[in-house]
């Protein structure tokens, strides 16, 4: 499946019943240089739209929300030592965590790539 996107600028890509979550290029650009990432522990249950991770730039802290409900499988611990990966490679190597999703219907709430591109364009 191709990626889906939230209005809060997370992306989610599905690999079987496992989903990988990150933030978009637009989001990392808005944040500026990422200096710290706090990741959820494996096994934690998260609800769609709830705080799942924290990403901090020099000047501000932001929350990363779970795009769908489920159980955290693996945090990307590489980000703890190399938070700048979020800026350098937001769509691939800068992923935040994988999760087992509990309600696939929730994916219908999200935007596809074209809809997200339009959404970002409107934000200016």
Residue 88 is a binding residue for other proteins (CB under 8 A): no
**Which residues from 7-36 bind other proteins, rule CB under 8 A?**
8-10, 23, 27, 31-33, 35-36
Q: Cβ closer to other proteins: 59 or 121? A: 59
DSSP string, 36-52: EEE-PPTT-EE-TTSEE
Residue 63 sits in the site that holds other proteins (CB under 8 A):
yes
Q: What is the DSSP string of 65-98?
A: E-SS-EEEEEE-THHHH-TTHHHH-TTTTT--EE
Q: Please state, in angstroms and rounded to a whole number, the distance separating the CA atoms of residues 98 and 35.
A: 21
Print the binding letters for residues 93-122 with other proteins: x by CB under 8 A, - otherwise: ------------------------------
- Give the count of beta carbons closer than 10 Å to the beta carbon of residue 28: 24
Please give the residue ranges that form the binding site for other proteins (CB under 8 A).
Answer: 8-10, 23, 27, 31-33, 35-36, 38, 54-65, 80, 83
């Amino acid at each position: 499946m191709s990626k889906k996107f939230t209005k809060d600028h997370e992306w989610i890509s599905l690999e079987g019943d496992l989903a990988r979550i990150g933030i978009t290029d637009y989001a990392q650009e808005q944040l500026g240089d990422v200096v710290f990432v706090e990741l959820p522990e494996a096994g934690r249950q998260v609800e769609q739209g709830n705080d799942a991770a924290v990403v901090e730039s020099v000047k501000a802290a932001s929350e990363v929300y779970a795009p769908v409900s489920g159980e955290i499988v693996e945090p990307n611990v590489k980000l703890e030592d190399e938070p700048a990966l979020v800026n350098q490679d937001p769509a691939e190597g800068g992923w935040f965590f994988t999760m087992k999703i509990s309600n696939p219907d929730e994916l219908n709430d999200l935007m596809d790539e074209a809809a997200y591109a339009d959404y970002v364009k409107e934000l200016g």
